[in-house]
């Protein structure tokens, strides 16, 4: 039964508890249930006093204020180190946790460049001025690493905003995410690649060839097995034409920084899985290598350790001393192993590959990533000019100057648009 009183009412529930309700501004509100009637009456009395004194707050608004107070309290207690450590462990990208190499890289950046300044600072105490001061002194001689470090801190603080621990991300510096390369990569020439290959032990020479002409990353390269070399059965096999041969890229090997040793990951770099067509001039070298240096089982490694043929070739063995010594011999001490991809991409572009084809071959997901590998060879501007002339097919007229014949398949507007595109590309090449 409900008990009537001057303000609100109290109802005894079947459970034996007492429900307190009241009406204010024509809206009914519940104060919940209480163990005794006296407790319910006290709650109604406090509410009536708040209304009379003008301090009453709508229960929904009060709940929001309580949540905000709890958020502020948590932000004041949670340090960046505590939040970032959990962020790295639980971060998901497209429904998947961070790859080991990414997670280890983030942990190193946090340890070396972020925690010394902000590690023990509460999230709510990190101000925009603090971030600006930190960034002004951050890795001045290493702009690429500086940009990556800034991006990591910004991503972590964005998540703190999403988790409602912060109202605004204090990591906001215009242009801090963009940077120019610390040094311009100069692709190796064909002769330099050949000389480097010849300086490598025979059983590992194909690593240089595939890294260059199939644009493989070193982790993908060292994880190749016999089963990853696929010949298209429908392709012609009669000499001198080589059968269409492809590499399946779906795993990589890398150093395990937590447990030591090497780790084979069944999955290439995120978004990089797929197949790579082997250029015909490389196919004979692949077949010869399979015959002379690879075991018969499908899972036998293409490149094996000199100590144990059951183990994949360690990256350290390939690099030091063999690759480092070989690049020194050709006068290219600046040429990183990864830079061999630039050489392959350069000649693919010179062969007429479009940007979309280059992205597919290098297994890049974004244009921005692919553009890092775009280069022009010496004389590119001259050859482009020649192609322009070949395209417009000039013809001499006895009564007029040179006239341009329009291809029948194109309208005048289409022709002019194409010429404008070629001229714009020529200007770009000359400015480089």
pLDDT for residue 383 is more than 70: no
217 is catalytic: yes
The pTM score is 0.62
370: Cβ contacts below 8 Å, ≥ 6 apart = 355, 358, 359, 362, 364
Active site residue 293: no
Active-site annotation holder among 338, 365, 427, 430: 338
> What is the torsion angle, in degrees rounded to the nearest 10, for the CA atoms of residue 68, residue 74, residue 76 and residue 81?
-140
Residue-averaged pLDDT of the chain: 82
pLDDT band at 243 (very low <50, low <70, confident <90, very high): confident
Helix, strand or coil for residue 176? coil
Token pair belonging to 248: 């399946």
Q: Where are the alpha helices (DSSP H) in 263-407?
A: 283-293, 315-317, 324-329, 340-350, 355-362, 367-371, 380-392
Q: How much is the average pLDDT of 34-44?
A: 93
Among 154, 293, 373, 375, which one carries the catalytic annotation? 373
Q: How far apart are CA 350 and CA 323, in angstroms?
A: 26
**Would you say 246 and 278 are in contact if contact means Cβ atoms under 8 Å apart?**
yes
Q: Model confidence at 191, in pLDDT bands (50, 70, 90)?
A: very high
Is 364 an active-site residue? yes
DSSP 221-265: HTT-BGGGEEE-TTS--STTSPPPEEEEE--EEEE-TTT-SEEEE
β-strand pairing of 274-277 with 245-249: antiparallel
Q: How confident is the model at residue 105 (pLDDT cuts 50, 70, 90)?
A: very high
Catalytic residue among 341, 361, 363, 375: 341
Res 34 pLDDT > 90: yes
- The answer to whether residues 253 and 265 touch, using CB atoms and an 8 Å cutoff, is yes
Q: Rounded to an integer, what distance in angstroms lies between the CA atom of residue 429 and that of residue 363?
A: 25
pLDDT at 64: 80
pLDDT band at 379 (very low <50, low <70, confident <90, very high): low
Give residue for tokens 């429904």: 95
Per-residue pLDDT, 4 = 52
* pLDDT tens profile 393-419: 443 333 333 333 334 444 556 556 655
**Confidence check: pLDDT of 279 > 70:** yes
Does residue 393 contact residue 407 with C-beta atoms inside 8 Å? yes
> 421 in helix, strand or coil?
helix
Active-site residue, from 113, 154, 217, 375: 217
Q: What is the average per-residue pLDDT within 97-113?
A: 92
Whether 338 is a known active-site residue: answer yes
Q: What pLDDT is attached to residue 373?
A: 59
Query: Could you give the C-alpha distances from 24 to 3, 6, 8, 56, 65, in angstroms and in order?
Result: 18, 13, 9, 10, 20
Q: Range with the lowest mean pLDDT among 117-131, 161-175, 225-239, 406-420? A: 406-420
**Which domains are assigned to the chain?**
1-55 (3.30.730), 77-163 (1.10.150.130), 190-380 (1.10.443.10)
Among 14-28, 126-140, 182-196, the range with the most confident prediction by mean pLDDT is 126-140
pLDDT higher than threshold 80 for residue 388 = no
Confidence of residue 376 (pLDDT cuts 50, 70, 90): low
In this structure, of 83-92, 349-358, 409-418, the range with the lowest mean pLDDT score is: 409-418
| Residue located via tokens 């963009």 | 178
Active site residue 154: no
* pLDDT over 90 percentage in the chain: 50
Query: Would you state the pLDDT for residue 396?
Result: 36
Tokens 């590959």 label which residue?
Answer: 353
Count CA atoms within 13 Å of residue 425 on its CB side.
16
Q: Which of 251, 332, 364, 375 is catalytic?
A: 364
């Amino acid at each position: 039964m409900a008990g009537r009183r001057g303000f609100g009412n109290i109802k005894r529930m079947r459970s034996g508890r007492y429900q307190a309700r009241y009406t204010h501004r024509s809206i009914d509100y519940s104060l919940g249930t209480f163990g005794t009637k006296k407790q319910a009456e006290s709650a109604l009395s406090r509410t009536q006093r708040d209304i009379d004194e003008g301090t009453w707050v709508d229960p929904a608004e009060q709940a929001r204020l309580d949540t905000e107070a709890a958020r502020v309290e948590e932000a004041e207690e949670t340090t960046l180190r505590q939040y970032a450590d959990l962020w790295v462990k639980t971060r998901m990208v497209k429904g998947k946790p961070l790859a080991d190499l990414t997670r280890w890289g983030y942990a190193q950046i946090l340890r070396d460049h972020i925690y010394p300044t902000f590690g023990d600072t509460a999230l709510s105490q990190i101000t925009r001025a603090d971030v600006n001061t930190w960034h002004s002194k951050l890795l001045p001689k290493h702009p690429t690493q500086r940009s990556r470090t800034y991006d990591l801190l910004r991503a972590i603080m964005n998540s703190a905003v999403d988790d409602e621990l912060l109202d605004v991300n204090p990591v906001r510096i215009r242009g801090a995410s963009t940077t120019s390369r610390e040094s311009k990569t100069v692709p190796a020439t064909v002769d330099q690649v050949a000389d480097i290959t010849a300086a490598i032990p025979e059983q590992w020479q194909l690593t240089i060839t595939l890294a260059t002409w199939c644009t493989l990353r070193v982790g993908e390269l060292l994880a190749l097995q016999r089963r990853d070399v696929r010949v298209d059965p429908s392709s012609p096999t009669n000499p001198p034409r080589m059968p269409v041969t492809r590499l399946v890229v779906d795993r990589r090997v890398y150093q395990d920084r937590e447990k030591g040793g090497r780790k084979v990951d069944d999955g290439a770099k995120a978004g990089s899985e797929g197949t790579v067509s082997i250029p015909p001039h490389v196919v004979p070298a692949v077949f010869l290598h399979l015959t002379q240096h690879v075991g018969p089982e499908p899972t036998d490694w293409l490149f094996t350790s000199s100590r144990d043929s059951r183990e994949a070739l360690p990256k350290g063995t390939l690099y030091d001393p063999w690759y480092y010594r070989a690049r020194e011999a050709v006068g290219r001490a600046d040429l990183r192993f990864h830079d061999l991809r630039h050489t392959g991409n350069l000649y693919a572009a010179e062969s007429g590959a479009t940007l979309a084809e280059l992205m597919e071959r290098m297994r890049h997901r974004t244009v921005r990533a692919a553009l890092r590998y775009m280069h022009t060879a010496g004389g590119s501007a001259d050859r482009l000019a020649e192609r322009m002339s070949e395209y417009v097919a000039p013809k001499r007229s006895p009564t007029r100057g040179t006239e341009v014949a329009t291809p029948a398949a194109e309208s005048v507007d289409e022709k002019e648009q194409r010429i404008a595109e070629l001229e714009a590309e020529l200007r770009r090449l000359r400015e480089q």
